[in-house]
Amino acid sequence: MNGRRLVDNIGGKLMLVLTVLSGVLLLLMAWGLVAKSSAILSLKPLDTLLFSGNWNPLRGEFGFFPFIAGTIWVVGVATVIAVPVSLLTAIYLSEYAGRKIKGIVNPFIDLLAGIPSVVYGVWGVLMIVPFVKNYIAPLYGTFSSGYCVLTAGIVLAVMIFPVIINVSVEVLNMVPREVREASLSLGATKWQTVKKVVLRRAMPGVIAANVLGIARAFGETMAVLMVAGNVAMIPKSLMDPAYPLPALIANNYGEMLSIPLYDSALFFAALLLFAVVFFFNLVSRAVLVRIEKGIR
C-alpha cells in the first residue's frame, strides 16, 4: 500500500514539474524573441513598425503592416471557408453517417492531417492557382495571377479541415445518448435535436476545435508561402497577393542578414506572430469560460 502511494506521489510531482516546465518554456520563447527584437525596438517606434506600410530593408525601413494585413486576410478567408464546412461534416459524421460511411471517410480525414504542408503547396500551385486565375477572377471581371489571398485561403482551409473535424466529432460524441433520446421522445426532429440540444451541450468543445484549427492557420508557412504571391503590399481584395508573417520569416531568414537591423526585424516578425497567436488563444479561452457558465 505504501509503495503504491509512493508511486502516486512521484507521478503527481513529476506531472507537476512537466506542467511547470511547459509554462517556463513558453516564457523562455517569449523572452528570447523580445531580446532578439530589442535592437529594432530601441531604434524604431512601435507604432511605426506596426502601422507603416514602407518595407525597404536596404533603406532601413521596416513597416510590418502589409505582412500583418496579409496574415489577417489569409487566415480570415481560411476561417470563413473551413469553419462551416468542418462543422457540418462533423455533425454528419457524428449524428447521421452509418458505420460503413464512417469507415470510409475517417481514414481520408486522417490522411489529410498527415500530408506535409509542402504537398498542399504543390497542389495549390497546380490546381487552385490556375482555377482562380482562369475562372474565379474573370467571373468578377478582374485579372489575377492566381497567387493571391483567395488561393492561400483555400489551401489553408483544406489544411485545417482535419483538425477541426476530428476534434468536433470527438466532442459531439461525448454528448450523452440519453440527452438525444430525451429530446426525440418529446417530439423533436433529428435536426432540432442536433441544433438545439447536441450543439448547445457541445458548443465549448466545438469552439475549442475551431480555435485549434485557426491557431494552426496562423502559423502555417510553406503552403501559404508557395501560393500567396509574397508581395509586400496591403491586400485590398481577395485577388490581390499577400505576404503573411510566416512567409516573410521563412523567405528571408538566413539571407541578407548583413543588412543592419534585418535580423532583429525578422525576430520582431516572429514576436508579432507569437503575440497574435497567444492573444487569440487567451480571447478564445475567455469566450469558452463564458459559454460554459451560460450553459450551466
Q: What is the pLDDT of residue 20?
A: 86
pTM of the model: 0.85
The torsion region of residue 60 among left (phi > 0), alpha (psi -120 to 50) and beta comes to left
CB-based burial, 110-148: b 16+ in 10 Å, e otherwise: eebeeeebeebbebbbeebbebbbeebbeeeeeebebbb
**Cα–Cα dist 246/121, whole Å:** 14
pLDDT at residue 13 above 90? no
Confidence of residue 255 (pLDDT cuts 50, 70, 90): low
Give 191-202 pLDDT, tens digit per residue.
888 888 888 888
% of the chain with per-residue pLDDT over 70: 93
Give 121-178 pLDDT, tens digit per residue.
999 999 999 999 999 999 888 888 889 999 999 999 999 999 899 888 988 888 888 8
Residue of 199, 230, 211 whose CA lies nearest to 160 = 211
Q: What is the pLDDT of residue 99?
A: 86
Give 156-170 pLDDT, tens digit per residue.
999 999 989 988 898
CATH of domain 46-295: 1.10.3720.10
**Cα–Cα dist 49/229, whole Å:** 22
Residue of 29, 55, 44, 28 whose CA lies nearest to 271 = 29
User: In the chain, what are the domain boundaries?
Assistant: 1-42, 46-295
pLDDT at residue 87 above 90? yes
Confidence of residue 1 (pLDDT cuts 50, 70, 90): low
